[in-house]
Amino acid sequence: MDPAQNGMTGDGGEFARRVADALNKIRPALQADGGDIELVAIEGQDARVRLTGACHG
């Protein structure tokens, strides 16, 4: 997801990019198990994500 899509620009832009990079690193493992992860919002230094799919622990 492009960080600018949810208004995640300006001072938080670098943080949003780092979060997106981290999610992209773990996404293949989640997808291999039938799931996924979505960046929902950045609020200050908090990242809200949504886990989807059929991941089983």
- Which domains are assigned to the chain? 3-53 (3.30.300.130)
Choose between 2 and 37: higher pLDDT.
37
Residue 7, helix vs strand vs coil: coil
> Does pTM top 0.85 for this prediction?
no
19-40 per-position pLDDT tens digit: 999 999 999 999 998 999 999 9
Amino acid 54: pLDDT = 78
Using the predicted structure, report yes or no on whether residue 11 has a pLDDT greater than 60: no
pLDDT bin (cut points 50, 70, 90) of residue 56 is: low
Residues 6+ apart with CB under 8 A from 43: none
The reported pLDDT for the residue numbered 40 is 95
Helix (H) or strand (E) holding 16: helix 13-32
